Structure 1
Amino acid sequence: MLQVQFIRENQEAVLTGLAKRNFANAESIVNQVITLDETRRATQVLLDNVLAESNKLSKEIGQLFKTGETQKANILKEKTGQLKAESKELSEKLTLENTKLQELLYQIPNIPHASVKAGKNEEDNEEIFTEGTVPDLGKNALPHWELAKKYDIIDFDLGAKITGAGFPVYKGKGAKLQRALISYFLDKNTAAGYTEVQVPHLINEASGLGTGQLPDKEGQMYHVTEDNLYLIPTAEVPITNLFRDELLKVTDLPISLTGYTPCFRREAGSYGAHVRGLNRLHQFDKVEIVRIEYPENSYKALDGMVEHIKQILRELKLPYRILRLCGGDTGFTSALTFDFELYSTAQNRWLEISSASNCETFQANRLKLRFKNKEGKSQLVHTLNGSSLALPRVLAGILENYQTDEGIKIPEVLVPYCGFDIIN
C-alpha cells in the first residue's frame, strides 16, 4: 500500500507510474485520496483542539472545587460535557474518514520501478536473457499429459473424480520425481543461506490484506467461509506475514526464508488447450524464497535471487528465458518483476515457472513491518519474493524435454533424490 504522504508529495510521479499499468480511474482515485486526507487531517486538528480544551477545563474544575468555587466549577462541567459530546462526534467522523481512506488506498497498486516499461499485457514484456539449448526431439515428441498417461505417473482423470479438474494425482515414479524436486529446491535454497520454515496452508483476513492478496485477488482464492480463512495462493503470504506488526532491529536484517507449500488458486475462467495437463492447476506445489531487506540493498538482493534461480535451471539443464514484465503485466504489489519461462519443446511454447519480485515498501506498509535504522528512527523495510520453483511446469518441462525412445531420463542432479535415472 502506498503511503498517503508519498502520494501527496509525488502526485505527478504516482499518476505516471499508474499510467504504465493502465490503471483505470487513476487520477480520480488519487484526487479522492488527497482530498480525503486533507479532510481527515482537518478533523484530527479539530479533535485535538477539543480534547486539549477539555483537559484544560478539567484541571480548572479541579482547582475551583479545591477553593470552594462550586458554582463556577459546575458551569465549566456543563461546558466539558458539551466538549465530550463534540469529541465523540469528531472521533466517529475521523474513524469513518480513516476507513474510507484505507479502502481507497487498498485499490491503488504499487508504482512500477523506473526500468519497467509501459504495456498492456504479456505481449509487451521484455525478454532480457536466454540460456540453454532446446533439444531436437523429432516430430513424434509427446506433450507431458500424454507422457504422463503412457508411463502412468500422473492421473488427471482420477484427480477430477476425487475433486475436480485441476487437481492431479501423482503416482509411482511421478510422485517420487515430484518429491525429489521439492527436496532439491529446498536444499539449494538452504545452501544459499535461506532458512527453511514450515507455515500454515490457511491464512486469516489480516494476512491476506497484509501481503496484498485481499481485496485485490479475493475471487481467486478459496475461502473457508465458516471460519473466514483462505487457502494460500503461495507460500509468500504466510512467510511474509510472520513479520506482520513487527519492529525489527537493524541487526535482524537481512532476513532470508524458504518454504514448501501446496498452493491453491481458483483460476476462474481458465479454459482451453493452453491449460491442459500441468499447465494450469487449482492445486500445485511450490518452493518459495522470501527476503526482508534494507531499502538500499533490495535491488541487489533481487539480482541475487535471479542469479540463484538461474543456477537451479542450469543444473536441471532446461532451456529458459527471463522477462522483465511491463507495467500492465506486473503484479498488484510488485514494483519490478522478472519472470522465468522454460521452453516446452513438445508444446512448442514458453511456460512460466517462476517470478522474482521486489515489492519495495508496498507490503511493509500494509504489514506495519518496520525496522529501527542506525539513527534510531523507525523505517519501512523492503519485501521480496520469488518462486524457486513452481513444480508443475518444471515437471512438465522435464517430462517433455528429457523424453527419449527408451523413456524419460531424469536430470543428473535429481538422480540422487529420485533413486532412479529413467521413467520407462
Structure 2
Amino acid sequence: MKKNKRIILMVMDSVGLGALEDAADYGDQGAATLQHIAAEIGGLKLPNLEKLGLGKIEEVEGLNAEIKAEGAYGKAAEKSKGKDTTTGHWEIAGLISETPFPTYPTGFPAEIMEQFHQAIGRESLANKPASGTVIIEELGAEHLKTAKPIVYTSADSVFQIAAHEDVIPVAELYDYCKKAREILQGEHAVARVIARPFVGEPGNFERTERRKDFSLTPPEPTILDQLKSANLEVNAVGKITYIFNHSGITDSVTTANNMEGVDQTLNYLDTTKKGLIFTNLVDFDQNYGHRRNVEGYAEALKQFDQRLPEIKAKMEADDLLIITADHGCDPTYQGTDHTREYVPILAYGKNVPADFNLGIRASFSDIAASIADYFDLDVKIEGQSLNLV
C-alpha cells in the first residue's frame, strides 16, 4: 500500500452541469447550474478551472472548450435516489443510497412535534418549509417575545432549529438538536438536524458561524472509514465531518465561508503527511443557489478560481487534486431547491495524464474507487476507478 501520497478532494457545493436523465422525476428537467449562470451574466471568466478542463465537459459561455487541459476532466451522474447534500457526499465516498431521505413539504407531523416539545419543555414556531434568512425575519420578533424556537425545513431532508443566541444559548440549542436527532429515527430519519443560531434585532437579524449539523451515521463503511483503518489521515474541512457524523474522520475544522475553506485546505497541505484532505465549499449552495443570487454565485466561482494556483503550488509530486460537486442548485431555475444534475470531475497532479477525457461516469462513487486505487487499498468499493495513474 502506498502511503506517501495525498489527495485533495474539493466539493464545490451545488455546482451542477446539467439535468440528469431522470431529472423530470424530481421536477428538475432543464436545470443546468453552471451553464445558466454563465448565460445570465454574459459568460464566466474562470481561467484556472478552464485550464483544468471545465469548459471541455459541457459548453459553458466564456470557457474555452479547445484548450488542452492540464489534467483529466469529465462528469458524473448521481446513482443514489435523491439530490441532497448528504446523499451526494455519501455517494462520493462510495455509498449508494437506494432509498431517499424523508422530506416534509407541509411540515413535520404532529406526533413528531409533540415529542419534540415534550423533550425540550416548550412549544415552537413555524414548522414549515422556508428559507433560513426569511423565516427569522418573519418570526424573529415573535421568537424574542415568546422564547419559542423556530422549527423549519426545506426541500432537503432537514429539521432546522433557529434561535437567537440571547434567548436560547447556543449550548441549549445544540441540546435541542440532540433531542430532535433522537426522535427523528426510522421512517422519520431526516439526513440532518441543524442548529441555526442568530443574533441582531428585528429587521437586522444575522445568522452566526455557530451553526452545527447533527447527521445520521452512514449505514455502511465509506472510503473514509477504509482510509482511517489503513492508518491514513482523513482531514475534513467545512461541514464534511458533520455530513458523515464524524465517521472515518481523523481531524476536522469547520469554516465560515468558501475562502476560509480554501485557507484551511492550504493549512492541511502544510501538515498532512499521507491521506485525504476532504473539503466542502458551501457558499455556492447556501448563500447563492438557494437564494437565487446569480451574480453572487458567479463571483464566488471567480474567487475560488483565483485561489487554485495557491493549492497547486503546495502540491507535491505524488499529490492528486480532485474537484467535483454533490448536486446542482440552479439559481435561475424555479423555486429554491437543489436540482438533480450531473457534477463535474476535474483531476490534476503531476502523474495525471494531460487532456484526459474521463467521459460520463455512471456514479459519483467512481471518485471513491479512484481514491482506493490511488492508495492501493484492497477494499470493495462501489464504482469504477478513474484510472488517473
User: What's the TM-score bracket when you normalise by the shorter of the two chains?
Assistant: under 0.3
Structure with the larger RCO, 1 or 2 (CA within 8 Å, 6+ apart): 2
Q: Which has the higher helix share?
A: 1
